[in-house]
């Protein structure tokens, strides 16, 4: 599975949000690495997922404050997307299954890519 490599195309033009996106990529990359191990440790897996869950919440909160500050017009829609994504992430953690590591990691890679490139790019114009 491809790991994230930071590139300017990912920049939403706001230093804190870009920094947080890089950190999220770093955590997801750790999961990609884990999925390539012969016998991945499930406690390591849980640790990384919990770290991701916590960071996603911190990150969403920061985005919500920023979008409110700049008067982003689609704030309500973005909030509902954040709600759905948080629920999905929490469900993944609740139903943790080391035997299904590849599909979970694949899901999270796509999830992060979509979050940055599709959803967050919509507020680039307002925050940069």
Residues that bind Fe ion (CB under 5 A): 120
HEC secondary structure over the chain: CCCCCCCHHHCCCCHHHHHHHHHHHHHHHHHHHHHCCCCCCHHHHHHHHHHHHHHHHHHHHHHHHHHHHCCCCCHHHHHHHHHHHHHHHHHHHHCCCHHHHHHHHHHHHHHHHHHHHHHHHHHHHHHC
Least distance to Fe ion, CB of residue 112, Å: 9
Of 24 and 49, which CB lies nearer to Fe ion in the complex structure?
24
Q: CA dist 1 to 52, 67, 68, Å?
A: 18, 33, 36
Q: Which residue number has the CB closest to Fe ion? A: 120
Least distance to Fe ion, CB of residue 120, Å: 4
Of 46 and 117, which CB lies nearer to Fe ion in the complex structure?
117
Of 30 and 120, which CB lies nearer to Fe ion in the complex structure?
120
Of 85 and 93, which CB lies nearer to Fe ion in the complex structure?
85
Least distance to Fe ion, CB of residue 7, Å: 16
Least distance to Fe ion, CB of residue 13, Å: 12
């Amino acid at each position: 599975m491809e790991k994230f490599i930071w590139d300017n195309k990912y920049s939403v033009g706001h230093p804190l949000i870009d920094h947080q996106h890089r950190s999220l990529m770093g955590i997801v990359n750790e999961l990609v690495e884990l999925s390539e191990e012969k016998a991945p440790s499930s406690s390591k897996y849980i640790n990384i997922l919990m770290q991701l869950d916590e960071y996603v919440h911190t990150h969403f909160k920061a985005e919500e404050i920023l979008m409110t500050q700049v008067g982003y017009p689609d704030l309500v829609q973005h909030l509902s997307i954040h709600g759905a994504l948080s629920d999905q992430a929490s469900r993944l953690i609740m139903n943790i299954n080391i035997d299904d590591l590849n599909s979970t990691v694949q899901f999270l890679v796509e999830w992060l890519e979509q979050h940055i490139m599709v959803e967050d790019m919509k507020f680039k114009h307002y925050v940069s």
